[in-house]
Amino acid sequence: MGKPILVIVGAGPGVSSAVAKRFGNEGFRVVLLARRAEALKGYTNELNELGIEAHGLTADASDPASLSAAFETIYKQHGAPDVLVYNAAVISRFKPTELTETQLLEEFKVNVVGALTSAKQVIPDMIARNQGTILFTGGGLSLYPSVTSASLSIGKAGIRSLAFTLADELKPHGIYVGTVTIGGYVQKGSFFDPDAIAEQYWVLHTNRNEKEYLYLQA
């Protein structure tokens, strides 16, 4: 029996890197998806140097066809994902009236639609196996919207609702869906240390009994 497979959409430093290491240290093979091939090479090399098997594929989270093609490659080269983590987001600083309709729609494609597209790539196989985990990176803006981050506030509210509704739909099929709602700026050595946050992804995956972990500072 081969290693279980973790796929992270929206690979980068910080949370996704820490999650990759946390699951990799538990014996997972890691597949990272991001837009920039050069950055992916750096992320995968870092994991490989730690003894974690890691592979990278380029994909655009705003483009369903790009995501579909990437997952097709994953199934062919590595097999069926056991855990999907969606970590992609567009961080922009605009008040609601400063946003154009086009900008809001384009950012929503990454902040929410890409999560649904990614999930739909793994759900049929997970249903067939009656097992699997899907985790979304949420944000405190879903609970406390910011006037200067209107688009991301809308996006984080959307992905939180997506996580909750998917969790209810897929639970009867043995699939666990959860979200980690991060209520602050991720920074090494702070309360929002990425390694500490990554631990909660692992806890959700192993316990499978909560739709959400609120990572908020009192």
Write out the two tokens for 77.
């080269």
Q: Where are the alpha helices (DSSP H) in the chain?
A: 15-24, 37-49, 64-77, 101-108, 114-129, 150-170, 194-207
pLDDT in tens, 96-142: 999 999 999 999 999 999 999 999 999 999 999 999 999 999 999 99
pLDDT given for residue 2 in this prediction: 85
User: Tens of pLDDT along 167-218?
Assistant: 999 999 999 999 999 999 999 999 999 999 999 999 999 999 999 999 999 7
Q: Read off φ and ψ for residue 29, nearest 5 degrees.
A: -85, 135
Q: What distance in Å separates the CA atoms of residue 172 and residue 135, rounded to the nearest whole number? A: 17
Q: What are the Cα distances from residue 208, in Å, to 171, 176, 204? A: 10, 6, 5
- The CA distance from 192 to 215, in Å, is 8
Confidence of residue 20 (pLDDT cuts 50, 70, 90): very high
Q: Considering only CA atoms, which of 89, 91, 119 is closest in space to residue 10?
A: 89
What is the model's pTM? 0.97
